[in-house]
Amino acid sequence: MVSEVPEGELSVSPETSPVDEAIALASFDYLYRDEYEPMVRLARGLVDAPEVAEEIVQDAFAKVYERWSRLDQPGGYLRTVVVNGARSELRKREVRRRIGLRPFIPPQPEDQDYLLDALDQLSPRQKTTLVLKFYADMTEKEIAQAMGVRPGTVKSATSRGLAELRKVVEQ
């Protein structure tokens, strides 16, 4: 028999008390308040549309919330989910392009971000590395973990990405 919980009330399992649930919700709320804008900036650096970036971040917070009680480092997990969500979006776009579907054309805001336009000229790995390093202030070790590569790969992608970015900006 399924018991229904009235709207607005929390379902509390026998293992958790209402106090534990309230603390968990407050902690998640703090994470959301502190990390929402930085995560949108991070996603915006990886994908070129603000609306898509916000959707990726919302989906990431939903995944964090689902796993909240099992996470040791929710902030790190959140960043990883945002990066993976952005990479997934870029893969979908590439598939659409390859099979001949109409390409994604991001809306053109009045105030363009020329740095983001320049970053779009880099390879996906270089762009991701630079965005994580300079937009998200992540260390090489954190970037390597988020991207699933070795720290040496992060160093070389950063170096090559910065060199390529200089060329693009100078044009």
pLDDT tens for each residue of the chain, 171 residues long: 334 433 333 344 445 566 566 666 678 888 999 999 999 999 998 887 889 999 999 999 999 999 988 888 899 999 999 999 999 998 888 887 777 766 555 555 555 567 777 888 888 888 888 888 887 788 899 888 888 889 999 999 999 988 998 888 777
Local structure of 16: helix, strand or coil = coil
pLDDT confidence of residue 68: 87
Rounded distance between C-alpha atoms, residue 158 and residue 142, angstroms: 14
Model-level pTM? 0.59
pLDDT confidence of residue 8: 37
Are 24 and 69 in contact by the 8 Å Cβ rule? The answer is yes
pLDDT confidence of residue 102: 65
Structure tokens at 10: 């929390």
Angle between helices 74-98 and 140-147 (to 10 degrees): 50
pLDDT confidence of residue 63: 95
Are 133 and 125 in contact by the 8 Å Cβ rule? The answer is no
pLDDT confidence of residue 2: 39
Rounded distance between C-alpha atoms, residue 119 and residue 70, angstroms: 36
Structure tokens at 158: 């950063």
Query: What does R_g of the chain's alpha carbons equal in angstroms?
Result: 19
pLDDT confidence of residue 18: 63
pLDDT confidence of residue 80: 92
Sign of CA dihedral 11, 79, 35, 42: negative
pLDDT confidence of residue 11: 41
Burial of 36 per CB tally in 10 Å (0-12, 13-18, 19+)? middle
